[in-house]
């Protein structure tokens, strides 16, 4: 994938066209009690609209109203839940195919006693993995200004040709790419997927890793060494999500910019990083000052964890403003 000169302000401005996300759309069903397995009969809640790319674009759409999703759902109520939510939150859903034969993808999750999560995914054998380049997808990409990809989407066998073609078109018109590694231990990343991930890194303008994903993305040990390796490969901006420790924005040759996390009572952390990314990209493309962008992103991630369901706490800009004004920051 050839790299073009990036937009002066790292990401393409809003005027170039909407932010488009390509990837899996799922429903999520959660166990009500924590435990170390999903073997026993238990009570579940849901279904909730989900899928990391869908959560990201939902938050992006709520802030900017300039967002579109490319993916697929089944012709079932789980699919309709997702379509209804995304459309209500200002996301263009014209690029979402409705598969007549395969069900909407799903994720069952149970929180472990140590606070971690255990997932059972159905992505590869669902509608989520069954979409391709179509005339409708072509029209969505033709007017796009920015593309966002989640690493989890690369496990779907049909997605790479769509990403590759979309990225070529986008870069030719001065568009930009953001990448969230979003590595899941429950998903299999073979050598081919690792190669494709590395190719995406080479085309990435903004990288949004969480914790250890920074070193995984760089394939280098140590935070500083990983940052320098990624900058040398052409990444322009790296925003490291640190959870309760806030976030840090790195740019080559510039001092890091830090942001404090917000102090909230965590109910469900699923989707926090996706909401952070959606708010960050939306606000960055709107041209807000970097400190404000980080504040909105931290607020979006924190607000989302206060609700059950991976995108039930996504917020509009006015909702995030109210949250920022009334919620204490960690360390203050």
For the range 193-200, what are the long-range contacts, defined as Cβ-Cβ under 8 Å and sequence gap of 24 or more? 193/154, 193/155, 196/154, 196/160, 197/151, 197/154, 199/1, 200/149, 200/163
Question: Six-digit token pair at 56?
Answer: 């990201």
Residues β-bridged to residue 107: 28, 121
How far is it, in rounded angstroms, from Cα 219 to Cα 330? 31
Q: Can you say whether the dihedral through the CA atoms of 192, 193, 196, 201 is positive or negative?
A: negative
Full 3-state SS string of 178-204: EEECCCCCCCCCCHHHHHHHHHHHHHC
Q: What is the pLDDT of residue 115?
A: 74
Whether the pLDDT of residue 193 is over 90: the answer is no
| Range picked from 34-43, 120-129, 316-325 for highest mean pLDDT | 316-325
Q: Cα separation of 120 and 223, whole Å?
A: 31
Q: Name the percent of the chain lying above pLDDT 70.
A: 95
pLDDT tens-digit profile of 271-305?
A: 999 999 999 999 999 999 999 999 999 999 999 99
Using the predicted structure, report yes or no on whether residue 150 has a pLDDT greater than 50: yes
Higher pLDDT, 183 or 59: 59
Residue 277 burial (C-beta neighbours within 10 Å; 0-12, 13-18, 19+): buried
What residues does 106 pair with on adjacent strands? 27, 122
Which band of pLDDT confidence, cut at 50, 70 and 90, is reported for residue 7?
Answer: very low
Residues 216, 218: Cα–Cα separation, whole Å:
5
- pLDDT of the residue at 192: 83
Query: Chain centroid to CA 187: how far?
Result: 16
Percent of the chain with pLDDT over 90: 74
Confidence category of residue 221, pLDDT binned at 50, 70, 90 = very high
Mean pLDDT across 29-48: 89
Q: How confident is the model at residue 188 (pLDDT cuts 50, 70, 90)?
A: low
Quickly tell me which residue has 């590869």 as its tokens.
124
Q: For residue range 41-97, what is the model confidence (pLDDT) as tens digits?
A: 889 999 999 999 999 999 999 999 999 999 999 999 999 999 999 999 999 999 999
CA distance 15 to 1: 24
What interhelical angle do 272-285 and 52-64 show, nearest 10?
40
The more confidently predicted of residues 148 and 121 is 148
Burial of 224 from C-beta contacts in 10 A (0-12 / 13-18 / 19+): exposed
Q: What is the largest CA-CA distance in the chain?
A: 55
Global pTM? 0.93
Give dist(CA 308, CA 46) in Å, integer: 9
Could you tell me if residue 249 is left (phi over 0), alpha (psi between -120 and 50 degrees) or otherwise beta? beta
Q: What does the mean pLDDT of the chain come to?
A: 92
Domain 14-23+52-77+89-95+137-326 class, CATH top level: alpha beta
HSE toward the beta carbon, residue 15, CA cutoff 13 A: 2
């Amino acid at each position: 994938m050839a790299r073009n000169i990036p937009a002066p302000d790292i990401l393409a401005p809003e005027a170039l066209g909407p932010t488009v996300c390509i990837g899996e759309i799922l429903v999520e069903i959660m166990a009500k009690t924590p435990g170390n397995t999903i073997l026993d009969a238990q009570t579940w809640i849901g279904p909730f609209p989900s899928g990391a790319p869908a959560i990201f674009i939902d938050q992006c759409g709520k802030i900017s109203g300039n967002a579109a999703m490319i993916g697929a759902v089944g012709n079932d109520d789980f699919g309709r839940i997702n379509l209804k939510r995304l459309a209500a939150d200002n996301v263009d859903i014209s690029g979402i195919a409705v598969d007549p034969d395969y069900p909407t993808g799903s994720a069952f999750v149970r929180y472990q006693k140590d606070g971690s999560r255990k997932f059972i995914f159905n992505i590869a054998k669902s509608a989520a993995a069954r979409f391709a380049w179509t005339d409708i997808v072509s029209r969505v990409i033709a007017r796009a200004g920015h593309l966002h990809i989640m690493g989890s989407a690369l496990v779907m066998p049909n997605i790479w040709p769509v990403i590759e073609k979309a990225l070529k078109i986008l870069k030719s018109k001065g568009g930009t790419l953001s990448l969230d590694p979003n590595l899941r231990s429950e998903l299999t990343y073979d050598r081919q997927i690792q190669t494709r991930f590395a190719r995406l890194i080479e085309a990435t303008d903004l990288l949004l890793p969480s914790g250890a994903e920074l070193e995984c993305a760089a394939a280098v040990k140590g935070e500083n060494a990983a940052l320098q390796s990624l900058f040398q490969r052409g990444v322009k901006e790296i925003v490291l999500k640190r959870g309760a420790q806030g976030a840090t924005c790195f740019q080559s040759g510039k001092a890091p910019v830090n942001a404090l996390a917000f102090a909230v009572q965590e109910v469900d952390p699923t989707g926090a990083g996706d909401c952070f990314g959606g708010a960050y990209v939306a606000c960055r493309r709107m041209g807000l000052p970097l400190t404000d962008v980080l504040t909105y992103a931290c607020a979006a991630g924190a607000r989302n964890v206060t609700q059950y369901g991976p995108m039930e706490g996504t917020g509009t800009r006015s909702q995030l403003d109210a949250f920022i004004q009334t919620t204490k920051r960690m360390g203050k």
